[in-house]
Structure 1
C-alpha cells in the first residue's frame, strides 16, 4: 500500500507566503498613513503661510513730496534734480506717466505718477510748470487751465528692515505690465497654465541632462515649484530630498490656489539680487533698484532683463556684468520673437537699446543715517521694533533731498578748503548741520559729520558742545522784555567786567578783540557780539531770568545759572541749538522739531495722526522777538556775519548769530532766511583748540549752502504792535536827515525821551501817539 504524499511543506510555504503578504500589506498601510500624515503636514504648512502673513514687509521711509504751486520758490536746477532723482525720463513729447519734456528755459511739461499720499491717493496728472526769477510763475493742466497744486511723489530714502534683511515692494497683477507676465511664462514655464504644479516633460528633460553630466546641472522646476522652493523651503540645494518635498508641495499649492494667486505671489517672492546687505525680492523692488522706476513703466528691454536675471541674479547683474546681462536680455527678447509674443523687428530694435540701468540708489550707499536715526527715535515713541521692521508701514518725513544734498556738499567742500588752508592745525576737524523750515519746525536736512554716509556717531544729535555767543539772543531778549527799562537804543557799558564767582575765582571776560568800546547801543552790542556789554546786561537782568528764557525757547538740558552762562558756557547739541533758534526764527512760536509727518499702515490707513502734529505755542511776545530779530539782522548787515551781504542778494532777508568758544574749540553759526534756518557746528571730537572762529568756520559753510539753495528775495514787515523812530548814536531821538541817524523799532511808549537834533532850530518832540515829527511839521502841520 503506497503512502500518501506529505503536504505539510507546501502548507508551510503557503502560510509563509501569506505572512509576507500580510506584512507587505501592513507596511503599505503604514506607508499610506505616513504619506497621508506627511501630506497633511505639508498641506497645513502650505495653507498657513499662504493665507497668513506671507512676508515681513519693511517700513518704507519717504522724503517730503515736492508740492508745486504758483508763487513757490523753485529754481530750474532744483526741479530738474528732483525729477532726475525720481526717475522721470526726458522725452521730446510727453505721452505717458513718468516722463518730462523741456519746452524751453524754465518750462517743464511733467506727467506725474499716481501715488498714495498720506492724505489719500492722487491719480496720474499732466502739468506744465513755468519758472522765472526763482519762482513758479504759472502752473497749468494738460488743457491749459490754471492748476492750483501739483504734487510729485516723494523719494524713497530708506527703510527699517526685518532680521532676514529682505526688501520688497509688493505689487498686484494689475500693477505689472501684461508683457512682464507673458515674458516670465515664456522663459521660465511656458506650460504654466496647463500643468498641476509639476511638469513631467520638464522633469524628464532635466533628468536626462543631469544623467549625462553626472551631477545636477539643470532643473525641471515649474514656476510653482520655484515658488515652493523660495517661499517654503530654506534649503536652496539641488538635493533629491528637497526635490521630493518640493513636488508634492507644488501639487498641494495648485490644489488650493488659483494660477493668478500663485503667479502674483511669485512676482513678489522671486530673488533678483542684492542691495548691499539687503536681498532684493520681487519685480516691484527690482524695478526700483535697477531702473529707478515703478514696474508699470518698464519697457520691453527692461522687462526682458529682469526676467532674464531670474536664472542667475548675480551672474546677470547689469551693474557688475553689463555685457553678460546684455547677452541674457537679448536671448529673452529672441524667445519673445520666436514664440510670437513680439515681432522679430521689435525684438531686434529693443536689443540695440542700452541697458538703461540707473545709478545705484543713494540709500544703497548708506542713505541719510543721521536723519534716519532721528526718524527711528521719533517713531519708537509709538511703535515697537517688530512693527517697524515687518508691518509694511509707510513713513512720510520732512527731509528735502535737495536741501540735504546741498548741506552735505557745503560741509564737505568748505571743510576741505579749511583743511588745505590751515593744515595740521585742523587735523581731525569734524562738523554737523541741521536745516529746518522756520515756519513749521520741519527738519529739511541733517548731517551728522563730514562723511554723511557714516553710520556711527551722529554729531547733530549727540555731540554736546559749549555754544559760545549763540546764547546771546536769549540775554538780549530777556532785557528787551523789560521794555520800560531797555530798548534797542539803550546805551550799554562795554567796560571791563570783574566779579567774584561762586567758587571764589574771579570772572573777567573780555571782548574777542581785547578792547573795550565804552557806551554802545544795545543793538550794536548784539550785532558786534561784545562780551563785556553782554555780561553787564545779563547780570543786571538776572541769571535766573536768562535761564528761564532759554527754557522757554526750547532748551530742556540742565542750565546752571552762573555768570559764564551769559557767554555760552552751556553744553548743547546742534539739535538743541536748532530748537532754540527755531523759536526765534518763528517769531516766538515754540514747535518741536519734527522729522515725521505721517505714517500709513500696510493698507494705506493713516496712523498716529494726532500725535504727529503739534499746535504751535506762543512762548514769546512777537513784538519782543521782532526787536531781537532786528538785532540779529544787524549781525548780518554790519556785524560779525557781514560777509553774508557780500554774497547773497541784498533783497534776501537774513538774520543770525556767530558763536566761538574758549580757545576756539567750537565754531558755530545759526542763521535764517524766509525759507531756511540753518545751524552749523565745526570742531574736533577731542575737543582741542582750532584756528577757527564762528565767522571763519561755521559761517563759511552756511554761506556756501545758501548760495546753493538760492533763497527767494523777501523782506519781513514790521511786527504788529511795533513803531519806528529815528535815533542817534547816543540813543536819543533825532531827525531822519541827521548824521548817523538810524531808524529802530520800538514798543510804543518805550522810545527814548530825549531829543538831539542836528538842526539849529528846536529839535523834534514826540507826539502823544509816540510818532516823531520835525519842528517844521509841528509848526505848519502834517
Structure 2
C-alpha cells in the first residue's frame, strides 16, 4: 500500500509539473508571435563620419599625412595607369589619384593629377591635363557606428558569402550537432553537467548556437535558472520558426567578439577586419580559429589584450578541427607553430571615443530628440590628427612618469587631455579626454573644470589694450612699463599679496616682458586698473563665463575646461573673431534629407588690432619666455603660446596656436593632488611633440591688420629709441597709442626728429 502522504506528494508534483509545462507552453506561444531574427536590413546603423580632407596647392605632403590618409581610406597604389576609383599612382613629379564618388555630397568619382615640388602640392588638375581644380577633397572617413545605443560597426555578411571553412570552424568548437538537434542538445547538456559536477564548478557550458543567439538577442547575460529556461524555450521557438541556415547566419553576424577601443565588435566579418585587417575570404585557418576561439570569452581571449591566452585558445580550436578530421596532421602542425600576429587597421588605431561621446551629446542636446536609426552624422574630426594627438599624449605622459617616478605613486594615475581645433571655423579636429577610455570614460577635455592659472593673463592685457585705444598715449601698450614690486590688495575676503613664481621681484618691466616671463604682480596691477567687470566681459566674449568677482581671476583662480580655454585662444588666433568650438557639420536621415545642421556661433570678441598685439606678445613667449623650450624641442615657424601653472602645482597647461591651428594640452591628477611640475615642464613637451608633427615649418605668419604702427623703442624707458640707446626693440602699437617722446634716459633724438619731419623715417 502506498501511503496517503506519498500519494498526495505525487499528485502535487504532477500538478506542479503540469502547471510549469502549461506555463512554458504559453510562454512559447507568446514568443512564437513576437520573436524575430534580425535581418541584414533591420536596424540600420547610425554612421558617424570624419571631416573630408581638402587637397589644395601649398599642401605639404608629409606634414599633412596625405599618404596615411589614403591608406586609411583604402586607396590602392598601382604601377600602371590609374583606371578605377580608389587607385593612385605616384609619379616622378606628383600623383595621379582616382577619387571615389561622394554620393551624399553629389560629387562623382573623378581622376585628378597632383603636381608636387619639394614635398609640396603646387597644382591640382582634372584628369591628366585638364583645367585647374580648386575644390578637391578626399571622401569623409567612416569613424564609427551605433546600433541600439551601443557603439559598433557591422557589415551583414550573408551565409552564402561566408567561407565554408569559417563556418566549419565555429561549428566545431561551439556546436558540433547544430544541424541535428532541435535547438537544445541533450548530449551537450549532459556532458557539461558531468564535467561541472566532477570538477566542482562551472567549467563547461552546454548551450547550443541557437541558445546563445537567443540569449544575446533577447535576454540579459545574468546567469539564473529562470533565464536559462526562457533561453531554452526561445531556442525551440526559433528552430520552429526559422531554417537552420537563417539561424546560423544571424549568429555569425550578431555574436559579440570584443572591444576595439570604444567600438563593440559583432560578427566574424567585423572581427576579421578589426584584428587582422582582412576580409573573411583572406583569413588563414589559424586566424579563423582565433576568431572562433573568441566566442567563449571575447574580452579574455582577445589577442590585443593577452596574446598568450589568445594563442592557447586558438590552439584548442585547431586541435578540435584535427580531431574532427577537418585538418590534416601536417596542416595542424603548420598552423599551431605559426605565431599569432595581430594587424590592427588604421581605423582601430584612431578610434576617438571621447570625441564620439561629446559629439553624440552635442547632437542630442541640439536636436532635443533621439537620433533615428540609419542617420548619418558628419563630424569635424580628422582621424589622422586624432591619431597623432593620442600618440603624443600617451608617449608624453609615459616620459613624464619615467623622468619623475613619484608621479606613478598614489591611487589615481597621471592624466592628460588634448584638444586640436581650427581657429577660423571652430572645427574640432581632435579630442583626447584621458589615457584610457576603457578604464575611465570621464572626458577631461570637456567635463573637467580646473583652474587655468597664467592662461588668463593674455586676456588681462587684451582688456587693457582695448581700454588704451580710448585713452590714447596714456593707455597700456606692449611697451608700457609696469611695476613688479610687493603690493597688497584689500577686498571683502581680506588682504592679498600676490607673489611671482620665482618668489622674486624684478622692478620696472615692460608689459611685453611681464607676459613673456609670466610675472604675476604686473598682471594683477593691470587687472586692478581695468577693473574686474571689464575683464570678465572680455572673457565672456571669448566663451569663458566665469563667476569670479575678485582680482585673483587675473591669475586664473576661476575654473575652465580645456575645450573652452583652447577655443578662447582660437579667438586670439583668428584676429579677435571668436568661433565657438563645434564637432559636427550636419545630421542627415537614411534617405539623405538634412535633419539638423549646426550654424557656427561666430562674433567679434575683440578688435583685430588688440588681438594682434596679444598674439605678438605670445610669439615672444615662444621665442624668449616661458615657452622657449618648445624651440629646443623642434617647433618651428611663427607660433604663439602660453604656459599655465595653477596654485599648488595641481594643473599644468599649455595652449599654443598658428593662424590655422590651435592646440591645448592639460596634465594633472583626477584627485587634484599636486604635480609639483610647471606647465613648461609637464604640458609643454607634449604640446611641442604634437605641434612639431602637425605644424609645417613653412606655415604662414599672422597677418598684421590695418590700424597698427611699428616703432623702435628703448626697452628700459618704453620711449622712442635714439641712436644713443644701447638696445632698440621693434614694437607694435594701436595707432594713436604709440609713444612720441624720445628716450630721455640716453638722450639724443635730434637726428630721428629731423628724419621724421622730412618723411625719411
Shorter-chain TM-score: what band? 0.7 to 0.9
Alignment partners' CA distance in 2, 1:377 and 1:90: 39
Q: Is the 8 A contact 1:127 1:141 kept in 2?
A: yes
Q: CA 1:423/1:736 → structure 2, altered by over 3 Å: closer, same or farther?
A: farther
The residue number in structure 2 matching 1:613 is 599
1:551 to 540, 543, 548: 540
> Where do residues 136-147 of structure 1 align in structure 2 (5 Å cutoff)?
136-145=121-130, 146-147=132-133
The residue number in structure 1 matching 2:732 is 745
The residue number in structure 1 matching 2:101 is 114
Alignment partners' CA distance in 1, 2:181 and 2:435: 58
Does residue 424 (structure 1) correspond to residue 415 (structure 2)? The answer is no
The residue number in structure 1 matching 2:624 is 638
The residue number in structure 2 matching 1:487 is 477
Alignment partners' CA distance in 1, 2:627 and 2:291: 59
Q: Is the 8 A contact 1:659 1:668 kept in 2?
A: yes
Does residue 503 (structure 1) correspond to residue 493 (structure 2)? The answer is yes
2:45 to 58, 61, 71: 58
Q: CA 1:734/1:113 → structure 2, altered by over 3 Å: closer, same or farther?
A: same
Q: CA 1:452/1:71 → structure 2, altered by over 3 Å: closer, same or farther?
A: farther
Does residue 574 (structure 1) correspond to residue 557 (structure 2)? The answer is no
Alignment partners' CA distance in 2, 1:232 and 1:752: 77
Does residue 276 (structure 1) correspond to residue 259 (structure 2)? The answer is yes
Q: Is the 8 A contact 2:665 2:687 kept in 1?
A: yes
Give the greater-gyration-radius structure (CA).
1
The residue number in structure 1 matching 2:359 is 375
After TM superposition, give the deviation of residue 84 of structure 1 in Å. 2.6
Q: CA RMSD in A?
A: 5.0
Does residue 754 (structure 1) correspond to residue 741 (structure 2)? The answer is yes
Q: CA 1:736/1:142 → structure 2, altered by over 3 Å: closer, same or farther?
A: farther
2:137 to 129, 142, 151: 151
Does residue 528 (structure 1) correspond to residue 517 (structure 2)? The answer is yes
Alignment partners' CA distance in 1, 2:446 and 2:683: 17
The residue number in structure 1 matching 2:579 is 591
After TM superposition, give the deviation of residue 625 of structure 1 in Å. 0.9
After TM superposition, give the deviation of residue 416 of structure 1 in Å. 2.1
Structure 2: 5+ residue stretches without partners: 1-28, 168-176, 191-209, 220-226, 304-309, 327-337
1:412 to 394, 407, 415: 394
After TM superposition, give the deviation of residue 169 of structure 1 in Å. 3.9
After TM superposition, give the deviation of residue 657 of structure 1 in Å. 1.1
The residue number in structure 1 matching 2:589 is 601
Q: Is the 8 A contact 2:272 2:291 kept in 1?
A: no
Identify which range, 363-372 or 579-588, moves more after superposition. Answer: 363-372
Question: Could you say what secondary structure the match of 1:718 adopts?
Answer: coil
Q: CA 1:282/1:745 → structure 2, altered by over 3 Å: closer, same or farther?
A: same
Identify which range, 487-496 or 470-479, moves more after superposition. Answer: 487-496
Q: CA 1:703/1:271 → structure 2, altered by over 3 Å: closer, same or farther?
A: same
Question: Could you say what secondary structure the match of 1:564 adopts?
Answer: helix
After TM superposition, give the deviation of residue 306 of structure 1 in Å. 12
Q: CA 1:683/1:413 → structure 2, altered by over 3 Å: closer, same or farther?
A: same
Q: CA 1:762/1:365 → structure 2, altered by over 3 Å: closer, same or farther?
A: closer
Question: Could you say what secondary structure the match of 1:751 adopts?
Answer: coil
Does residue 716 (structure 1) correspond to residue 698 (structure 2)? The answer is no
Alignment partners' CA distance in 1, 2:391 and 2:436: 10
1:70 to 51, 57, 60: 57
> Where do residues 232-271 of structure 1 align in structure 2 (5 Å cutoff)?
270-271=253-254
Alignment partners' CA distance in 1, 2:162 and 2:535: 71
Question: Could you say what secondary structure the match of 2:732 adopts?
Answer: strand
Q: CA 1:76/1:103 → structure 2, altered by over 3 Å: closer, same or farther?
A: farther
After TM superposition, give the deviation of residue 555 of structure 1 in Å. 0.9
Alignment partners' CA distance in 2, 1:241 and 1:90: 53
- Cα deviation per residue 1:440-468 (whole Å; 9 max; x = unaligned)? 11111112223365442221112222111
Q: CA 1:67/1:286 → structure 2, altered by over 3 Å: closer, same or farther?
A: farther
Does residue 92 (structure 1) correspond to residue 79 (structure 2)? The answer is yes
Does residue 660 (structure 1) correspond to residue 645 (structure 2)? The answer is yes
The residue number in structure 1 matching 2:197 is none
Q: CA 1:725/1:371 → structure 2, altered by over 3 Å: closer, same or farther?
A: same
The residue number in structure 2 matching 1:18 is none
Q: Is the 8 A contact 1:272 1:310 kept in 2?
A: no
Alignment partners' CA distance in 1, 2:251 and 2:581: 37
Q: Is the 8 A contact 1:656 1:670 kept in 2?
A: yes
The residue number in structure 2 matching 1:681 is 666
Question: Could you say what secondary structure the match of 1:372 adopts?
Answer: helix
Q: CA 1:475/1:240 → structure 2, altered by over 3 Å: closer, same or farther?
A: closer
After TM superposition, give the deviation of residue 45 of structure 1 in Å. 7.0
Alignment partners' CA distance in 2, 1:629 and 1:578: 14
The residue number in structure 2 matching 1:25 is none
The residue number in structure 2 matching 1:726 is 712
- Cα deviation per residue 1:567-614 (whole Å; 9 max; x = unaligned)? 1111222122223222222221122111112212122222212xx122
Q: CA 1:326/1:741 → structure 2, altered by over 3 Å: closer, same or farther?
A: farther
Question: Could you say what secondary structure the match of 2:688 adopts?
Answer: helix
Q: Is the 8 A contact 1:268 1:281 kept in 2?
A: no
Alignment partners' CA distance in 2, 1:643 and 1:365: 30
Q: Is the 8 A contact 2:146 2:153 kept in 1?
A: no
Alignment partners' CA distance in 1, 2:350 and 2:758: 73
After TM superposition, give the deviation of residue 274 of structure 1 in Å. 2.5
Alignment partners' CA distance in 1, 2:253 and 2:424: 46
After TM superposition, give the deviation of residue 183 of structure 1 in Å. 7.8
Alignment partners' CA distance in 2, 1:764 and 1:161: 74
Question: Could you say what secondary structure the match of 1:380 adopts?
Answer: helix
Alignment partners' CA distance in 2, 1:391 and 1:748: 57
Alignment partners' CA distance in 2, 1:371 and 1:271: 26
Q: Is the 8 A contact 1:305 1:328 kept in 2?
A: no
Q: CA 1:761/1:519 → structure 2, altered by over 3 Å: closer, same or farther?
A: closer
Q: Is the 8 A contact 2:462 2:611 kept in 1?
A: yes
Question: Could you say what secondary structure the match of 1:608 adopts?
Answer: strand
Q: CA 1:448/1:737 → structure 2, altered by over 3 Å: closer, same or farther?
A: farther
- Cα deviation per residue 1:57-95 (whole Å; 9 max; x = unaligned)? 332222222221222344267122222322333443444
Q: Is the 8 A contact 1:368 1:452 kept in 2?
A: no
The residue number in structure 2 matching 1:161 is 147
Question: Could you say what secondary structure the match of 2:730 adopts?
Answer: strand
Q: Is the 8 A contact 2:54 2:135 kept in 1?
A: yes
Alignment partners' CA distance in 2, 1:97 and 1:518: 67
The residue number in structure 2 matching 1:396 is 378
Q: CA 1:240/1:655 → structure 2, altered by over 3 Å: closer, same or farther?
A: closer
After TM superposition, give the deviation of residue 116 of structure 1 in Å. 3.8
Identify which range, 724-733 or 751-760, moves more after superposition. Answer: 751-760
After TM superposition, give the deviation of residue 415 of structure 1 in Å. 2.3
- Cα deviation per residue 1:698-721 (whole Å; 9 max; x = unaligned)? 111111111122334321221122
Alignment partners' CA distance in 1, 2:123 and 2:340: 33
- Cα deviation per residue 1:231-250 (whole Å; 9 max; x = unaligned)? 9999999x999899668856
The residue number in structure 2 matching 1:778 is 757
Q: Is the 8 A contact 1:57 1:168 kept in 2?
A: no
Question: Could you say what secondary structure the match of 1:713 adopts?
Answer: coil
Structure 1: 5+ residue stretches without partners: 1-39, 174-179, 189-202, 217-224, 254-261, 335-353, 766-774
Q: CA 1:302/1:325 → structure 2, altered by over 3 Å: closer, same or farther?
A: farther
Alignment partners' CA distance in 1, 2:564 and 2:360: 18
Q: CA 1:452/1:719 → structure 2, altered by over 3 Å: closer, same or farther?
A: farther
Q: Is the 8 A contact 1:170 1:268 kept in 2?
A: no
Q: CA 1:603/1:573 → structure 2, altered by over 3 Å: closer, same or farther?
A: same
Q: CA 1:404/1:86 → structure 2, altered by over 3 Å: closer, same or farther?
A: same
